[in-house]
């Protein structure tokens, strides 16, 4: 069935139950207001602390969006972009687009004006929903956007060149539109992170979205009684597809604006959240706050919190071991995936396999995996090769980019670009991104392995390893190290700590600085290389 059927089912079965809660910790306590209905109200960014909607209201709002689009001439298969911060309007707009038969195109809210313009053009988007945070960027490209594009402004004080979303949607019917949507219909275009240039448009069908919803519920044993705390941005497949588990079971979810340890603990405590998905930096910040006494577990109601899971990047085993010391009752899971595989879950650790922390796991529900060499032949267990995945969540294509599609899709297999190995029990361990491998003196160095080792140091908050050009060895490993607040660490300290590494794996250059990460929590290796490779070249030139 198409993913929209789940929303309609939840409206019938659980209509009066809360579906979504939005929390903004930056708003003062006395400004708290809870709205059950808000389609005729124009909320301001400073008027609310907490808002919520029920499943029936959620479905009704999606119907209004769908009918508004249909009334404005949008037909099945056209593209509608969303450029919003996480908010209560986000998901009803997304599902309204799908209910109209159109294709939803979520955009990264960190895109600059040029990237927004590129993504609107490359996806052939005819509609853009955007919020007040993006007025400046949209004005910068207003002359480039094709004249027939519909711009809907989701906020107060609508610009003259756009239409007031709240006013327009309130005048549309709340009855479900009569649009036939089938499993194989195109549903959404997501964009890659764009770390190697402009992002690629990734096309998925309804079958892929449904696969991710069912898989999420199965992997994390989600029930109707669960309450999922969603912190990452909804434009990304990671956040969206994890929330799909809540959609599949008709259970509540909380959209939290902010990721400080205090705001996370407060949301879990006050909303009685049971499942929380964290990125590595947020988990690190929580542990640092607990270690320092800045926050205390006993000050919050956390007994119902049963599952913490992490994805988006390799997870240092030391982090999870520290986590389970504070939360020994927690179930834990690692989720691996790409936007090209409908987000997380094509490989996952499994709640029962905590002793395998460090691995990304085994094939997820409905998925197959293999690890291959440069010629595409499967390698033996223990050997390193490229991880490939196959399943109902694989993308259709990079939209209008057959050359790039052919590079990554081969006979139904998605070549991930991640180097991995498999142990004797069948568990897969990520070694590194294929493009991030450092070749030093003829030896392959895998930064993830060095980073995981460095993270065992109690004084290191975060670490990243990149390759720097070297005349003799070709490349050398450089470690960017972010020291924990209030602690000191020297190059000599790091060198002594790394004596337990094989000599060829030891970082030859130490840089003390903040580790840059992208919005999904992954280490921003391209940016780090841009910064430090340039500095290294200047340094070498000065030495010569």
Using an 8 Å Cβ cutoff, are 295 and 265 in contact? yes
For residue range 83-121, list pLDDT tens digits in order: 999 999 999 999 999 999 999 999 988 888 988 999 999
- The label of the residue with tokens 């059927």 reads 5
* Average pLDDT score over residue span 359-382: 94
Q: How confident is the model at residue 383 (pLDDT cuts 50, 70, 90)?
A: very high
Residue pLDDT, tens place only, 426-457: 999 988 666 777 878 666 787 888 988 899 89
Spatial neighbors of 315 by CB under 8 A, at least 6 apart, are 280, 334, 357, 358
Band of residue 460 on the pLDDT scale cut at 50, 70, 90: very high
**Burial of residue 91, with CB atoms counted within 10 A of its CB: 0-12 exposed, 13-18 middle, 19 or more buried:** buried
Q: Under CATH, to which class is 438-543 assigned? A: alpha beta
Count of Cβ atoms closer than 10 Å to residue 120 Cβ: 24
Residue 125: half-sphere exposure toward Cβ, Cα within 13 Å: 27
User: Confidence band (pLDDT; 50, 70, 90) for 39?
Assistant: very low
Domain positions in the chain are 4-14+51-213, 438-543
Decide if 422 contacts 443 (C-beta within 8 A).
Answer: no
Residue 502 backbone dihedrals phi, psi, to 5 degrees: -55, 145
pLDDT confidence of 482, banded at 50, 70, 90? very high
Instruction: Give the 3-state secondary structure of 36-94.
Output: CCCCCCCCCCCCCCEEEEEHHHHHHHHHHHHHHHHHCCCCCCCEEEEECCCCCCHHHHH
Q: Which of 333, 327, 324 is nearest to 352 (CA)?
A: 333
Band (514; pLDDT cuts 50, 70, 90):
very high
Confidence of residue 32 (pLDDT cuts 50, 70, 90): very low
pLDDT computed for residue 186 by the predictor: 97
Q: Can you tell me the distance from the alpha carbon of 173 to that of 166, in angstroms, rounded to the nearest whole number? A: 13
Q: DSSP of 430-452, one letter per residue?
A: EEEEGGG-EEETTEEE-HHHHHH
Confidence label for 520 from pLDDT (cuts 50, 70 and 90)? low
Query: What's the token pair of residue 542?
Result: 């000065």
pTM for the full predicted model: 0.82
Neighbours of 434 (CB within 10 A): 14
How many whole angstroms separate alpha carbon 377 and alpha carbon 383?
Answer: 12
Architecture of domain 4-14+51-213: 3-Layer(aba) Sandwich (3.40)
pLDDT tens readout for residues 408-425: 999 999 999 888 999 999
């Amino acid at each position: 069935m198409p993913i929209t059927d789940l929303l309609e089912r939840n409206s019938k079965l659980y209509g009066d139950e809360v579906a979504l809660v939005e929390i903004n910790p930056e708003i003062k306590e006395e400004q708290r207001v809870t709205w059950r209905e808000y389609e005729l109200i124009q909320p301001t960014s400073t008027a609310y602390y907490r808002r919520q909607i029920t499943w029936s209201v959620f479905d009704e709002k999606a119907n209004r969006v769908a009918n508004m689009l249909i009334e404005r001439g949008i037909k099945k298969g056209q593209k509608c972009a969303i450029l919003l911060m996480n908010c209560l309007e986000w998901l009803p707009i997304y599902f309204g687009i799908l209910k109209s038969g159109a294709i939803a195109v979520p955009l990264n809210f960190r895109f600059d004006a040029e990237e927004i313009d590129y993504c609107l053009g490359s996806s052939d988007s005819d509609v853009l929903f955007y919020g007040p945070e993006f007025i400046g960027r949209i004005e910068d490209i207003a002359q480039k956007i094709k004249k027939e594009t519909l711009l809907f402004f989701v906020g107060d004080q609508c610009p003259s060149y756009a239409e007031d979303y709240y006013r327009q949607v309130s005048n549309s019917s709340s009855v479900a539109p009569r649009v036939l949507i089938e499993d194989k219909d195109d549903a959404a275009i997501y964009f890659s992170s764009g770390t190697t240039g402009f992002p690629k448009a990734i096309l998925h069908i309804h079958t892929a979205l449904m696969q991710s919803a069912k898989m999420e519920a199965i992997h994390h044993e989600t029930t109707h009684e669960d309450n999922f705390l969603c912190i990452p941005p909804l434009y990304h497949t990671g956040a969206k597809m994890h929330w799909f588990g809540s959609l599949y079971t008709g259970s509540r979810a909380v959209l939290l604006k902010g990721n400080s340890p205090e705001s996370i603990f407060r949301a879990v405590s006050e909303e009685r959240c049971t499942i929380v998905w964290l990125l590595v930096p947020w988990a690190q910040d929580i542990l640092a706050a607990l270690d320092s006494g800045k926050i205390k577990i006993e000050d919050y109601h956390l007994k119902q919190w049963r599952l913490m899971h992490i994805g988006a990047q390799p997870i240092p085993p030391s982090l999870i071991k520290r986590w389970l010391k504070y939360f020994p009752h927690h179930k834990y899971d690692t989720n691996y995936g790409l936007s090209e595989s409908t987000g997380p879950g094509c490989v996952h650790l499994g709640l029962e396999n905590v002793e395998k922390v460090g691995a990304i796991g085994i094939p997820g529900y409905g998925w197959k995996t293999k690890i291959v060499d440069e010629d595409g032949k499967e390698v033996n267990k223990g050997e390193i090769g490229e991880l490939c995945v196959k399943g109902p969540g694989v993308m259709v294509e990079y939209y209008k980019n057959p050359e790039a599609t052919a590079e990554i899709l081969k006979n139904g297999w998605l070549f991930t670009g991640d180097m991995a190995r498999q142990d004797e029990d069948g568990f897969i361990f990520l070694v590194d991104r294929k493009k991030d491998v450092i070749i030093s003196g003829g030896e392959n160095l895998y930064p993830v392995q060095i980073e995981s080792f460095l993270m065992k140091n109690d004084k290191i908050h975060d670490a990243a390893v990149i390759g720097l050009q070297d005349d003799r060895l070709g490349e050398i490993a450089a470690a960017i190290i972010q020291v924990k607040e209030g602690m000191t660490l020297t190059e000599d300290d790091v060198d002594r700590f790394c004596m337990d590494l094989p000599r060829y794996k030891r970082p030859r250059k130490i840089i003390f600085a903040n580790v840059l990460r992208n919005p999904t929590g992954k280490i921003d290796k391209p940016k780090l290389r841009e910064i430090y490779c340039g500095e290294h070249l200047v340094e070498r030139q000065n030495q010569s």
